[in-house]
Amino acid sequence: MRKEDLKYLNIFLGISLAPIVGNQLMRPEEITAHEIDGQKFEAVSTNTLVDHLREIRPLEAKLRKVVENNDLFAGFKKLTEEERLEDFDTYFPIYLAAELKYEIPWYLLWIIHVHETTASRERWPEVGGYKGAMQRSVLYYPDSVVAEAVRGWEALGLLPQRYSQTRGYFTNDHEEIFFAAWKLRNDTNQIKKNNPDLSYEESFLKAQYRYCAPEFAAQRIRQYQYIKEIFETQTKSEPEETIIWVNEKE
């Protein structure tokens, strides 16, 4: 790891993060708005992200206890308690950042990640026309789409992750996770537009059928509902953590 990268990683682990271009930290005023499928999203500023990461510390600790005490993927994918905790510790900041930007629940992204590549544990993630942690179709979604999806959150690449270009892979996990959230948000918007009576949750669950084969989509929906109930039941006695969305849901 380069000396300057280590410096930024140490800053992140102290709960501070800023998007970077090259080796230079971006100032908040340099981070601009951009459009996805005709809908404008504001990139998150340095200060907003730093504040957010500080605020989620109690939430992260609370959720980790739930992950530790429950076999969240029972009947879906065999993960040991150690593996669940390893996944959570490694990827929760990335999943949650993607949720903040695209409003797709963080544990739904975890479900997809586990289903596609056992959370980036598969040995050959780049075969058969699909690529990376979330098995993106390179025919329909080139790398340029991924770069756009992760814009403003590039510094997440300084976090440890199983698939990364620095480890010899063709992709980076944080970018592919953001791509999946980007795709689901786009599909959700289209479904909601065509079916205005559907709730936002119904729409993003229906979007699973645009991501993978129907039988797999149905499995992911069931797993989402199962995990959602666990988190809601085991955390409802605690004060609710508030996440301020960049773009408000309808």
**Residue 11 covered by a domain:** yes
**Residue 84 covered by a domain:** yes
Which CATH number belongs to the domain containing residue 22 in this structure? 1.10.530
Start-end of H helices in 70-194? 81-102, 106-117, 143-149, 173-194
The range of the structural domain enclosing residue 183 comes to: 3-235
**Residue 244 covered by a domain:** no
Check: CB of residue 125 under 8 Å from CB of residue 84. Answer: no
| pLDDT tens, the chain, 250 aa long | 334 443 333 444 343 333 323 323 233 333 333 333 344 434 444 454 555 566 667 878 899 999 999 999 999 999 999 999 999 999 998 999 999 899 999 999 999 999 999 999 998 878 888 999 999 999 999 999 999 999 988 878 877 899 998 888 899 999 999 999 999 999 999 999 999 999 999 999 999 999 999 999 999 999 999 999 999 999 875 554 444 334 444 4
Quick one: pLDDT at residue 38? 40
Quick one: pLDDT at residue 120? 96
**Residue 247 covered by a domain:** no
- d(C-alpha 183, C-alpha 36), whole Å: 10
**Residue 28 covered by a domain:** yes
Q: What is the pTM of this model?
A: 0.77
Per-residue exposure over 218-238, b if at least 16 CB sit within 10 Å of its own CB, e if not: ebbbebbebbeebbeeebeee
**Residue 106 covered by a domain:** yes
Helix (H) or strand (E) holding 215: helix 214-235
Helix (H, G, I), strand (E, B) or coil at 34: strand
**Residue 246 covered by a domain:** no
- For residue 247, the 8-state DSSP code is S
**Residue 245 covered by a domain:** no
Helix (H) or strand (E) holding 68: helix 57-69
- Which residues make Cβ contacts (< 8 Å) with residue 67, sequence separation at least 6? 84, 85, 88
Based on the structure, what is the number of domains in the chain? 1
Quick one: pLDDT at residue 24? 32
